[in-house]
Amino acid sequence: MNSVSASTSAHITLYRMLVLSLIGLAVGSVSSFATIGFVELVHWLNDLLYVSQTSRDQLDSGMLAVATISVLTIGGLLVGVILNLDVKPTTSLGPADAIYAVQLRERLPRPVAGVLSTVAAIFSLGCGASVGQYGPLVYLGALIGQLTHRLQLGIRDIRSIAIACGVAAAIATAFNAPIAGLIFTHEVILRHYSLRIFTAVTVASACGFVVANVVFHNPALFLIDFNQAFHTAEFFLFALEGLCCGILAVIFMKLLAKSELLAAKIKINAVFKPMLAGFLVALVGLQIPEVLGAGQAVLRLATIPGSYTVFDLSSILIAKILVTSLCIGFGFAGGVIFPALLIGVLFGALFAISVPELLLGEYSGLSVYAICGMVALASPVIGAPLTALLIIFEITRNYEVTVAAMVAVVFANLVAYHWYGRSLYDTQLSERGLDLSLGRDRAYLQHHKAAEYITNKIPIISNDWSCGQLLEQVAGDATQSAVVIDKDGCYLGMVFHSQLHDKNNSDPVASLALKSDLKFDENTSLWIAMETMRDYIGEAVPVVHSQTHKYLGALPEATVISAYLDAIHDLRREEHEA
């Protein structure tokens, strides 16, 4: 019997490995090609619409001003229209939505909303809005991954696994960094490590790297050649740079929130808000064209000594922070990952010119500080310090530069966590009621409502009954309590068997002292219910509609405990099942 059981277990394990590998291969390949298509389409639009520097050089100053203002203003209007085409108008979808779906095992927003958001992101980036492409690519990968949930493959949590595969492939393709894609998925999206999911995600991430390098021969984000040793004093400067980047990251994230609040206060139709932002960005772009679009060229130039002066770096840095906040807050579709990377590079280059050159006779060079600034600022924004370091290591292939970046990243994240929180995504999720800072089990229980677990086993009586009728009802149902309602079904309170000892059968129930101090409503979460019932003595707590006061049912203590244990079991199984 044991040999048969072992054989069955081996077959199940082999089947899972095969299916998970195929899921990773299929989702990873499709996501990788979709990522390449997204990026190439944006580049094509940048050239067509006079956003890229090479295309802008073809126009004289007068026509360039007309083209810039027209493209961004009309582009903003088009983005606003696209995002409002759905029955339910949507904002740009991104990594926070993928995290929400995976952590709570929910579906992503409707595919129509996802497609519209992706199209809007392409036009936003294509017309020169100061937004990032990696956030939309993460969601695009998640959207492709979710398509596999309809397959009946006998694999638990297949939707979450496939979403993770799509995200990993998108990041691996976009950055040419398969290990970073793998770690980003676990660090940001999944929030745990599982051998079962690790298999599929690794295959998907490898697919992304193969498609980007073997099929399309995409160049690295930037190249750096560093073969010298650091001065000991420079590690103090890397730490100082990290502290400054942490502060700047907090300012950037808070400006994003302020911009959204400002946009909400402006009483115009949501369709026209991106258009307004586009017009303002165009005016800035005419003076500082480096702020237009995602800014890949600017990011590469900022790592090269002599490309920009102190004044240039300062102007571009301040303008990029402001216009990115404006674009995101006013409804352009796009992400914050690449803007954070670019802001970090600009600040790192500015820091290198302003500090090491003044304090040290010789130092390791501008490019190292620019790279350290890039990851030190971006990592607290997205909440992924390990991913940021691996991106640097995979791009530069340089251990010394990665160690320098590690010092900056540590101090940046300490500062940002203290003054802001783990990441921008976690703040967005917290506003939606998903707080992951206290554990995945608590977040899961906070999401599910007590009303989902109500029972009707507690007797329901009317307030015009007699005590004798109540006694018969309680005895027949073998309970110690009953729920009292009025003729309209509204909850009045609870009565207990012990209250009937000194009552005559003819006495009305209305003469009893009804206990109504503890009750839940349809919005009460399982977590709140469990915390509230910690010291509760009784069979069940009534659940009452918050608006109509109608009695919905009762929540037994045993049901709450069972739901908690089931949630813990499912989460642990997900993390440890092979």
Alpha helices of 57-186 — where are they, by DSSP H? 61-83, 95-104, 111-126, 134-146, 158-175, 178-184
Residue 105: pLDDT band with limits 50, 70, 90: confident
**For residue 487, what pLDDT is reported?**
83
**For residue 119, what pLDDT is reported?**
95
Dig out the tokens for 246 from the structure: 């942490």
pLDDT of 323-334, one tens digit each? 999 999 999 999
CB 165 within 8 A of CB 186: no
Amino acid at 26: A
The residue among 16 and 301 whose pLDDT is bigger is 301
Longest dimension (CA), the chain: 100
Dig out the tokens for 83 from the structure: 């995002």
**For residue 336, what pLDDT is reported?**
95
Q: What is the mean pLDDT of the chain?
A: 88
Q: Give me the percent of the chain exceeding a pLDDT of 90.
A: 49
**pLDDT greater than 80 at residue 303:** yes
**pLDDT greater than 90 at residue 228:** no
- What are the residue ranges of CATH 1.10.3080.10 in the chain? 2-215, 232-424
List of residues 6+ apart from 498 with CB closer than 8 A = 480
pLDDT of 75-92, one tens digit each? 999 999 999 887 566 677
Q: What angle do CA 198, 203, 206 make, to 5 degrees?
A: 120
The residue among 441 and 151 whose pLDDT is bigger is 441
**For residue 4, what pLDDT is reported?**
55
pLDDT of 521-574, one tens digit each? 988 988 888 888 877 777 788 899 989 889 888 888 888 888 888 878 887 777
User: At the fourth CATH level, which superfamily is domain 444-569?
Assistant: CBS-domain (3.10.580.10)
**For residue 110, what pLDDT is reported?**
82
d(CA 209, CA 28): 10
Residue 222: pLDDT band with limits 50, 70, 90: low
**For residue 438, what pLDDT is reported?**
76
**For residue 483, what pLDDT is reported?**
84
**For residue 571, what pLDDT is reported?**
78
| Nearest residue to 433 via CA among 448, 412, 417, 422 | 448
**Average pLDDT in the 294-313 region?**
91
CB 216 within 8 A of CB 32: no
Residue 8: pLDDT band with limits 50, 70, 90: low
Domain 232-424: state its class. Answer: mainly alpha
Residue 1: pLDDT band with limits 50, 70, 90: very low
Confirm or reject CATH 2.30.40.10 for domain 2-215, answering yes or no: no
**Average pLDDT in the 334-342 region?**
95
**For residue 116, what pLDDT is reported?**
93
pLDDT of 117-151, one tens digit each? 999 999 999 999 999 999 999 999 999 998 887 77
d(CA 326, CA 10): 56
Out of 7-21, 99-113, 417-431, 484-498, least confident range: 7-21
**For residue 206, what pLDDT is reported?**
94
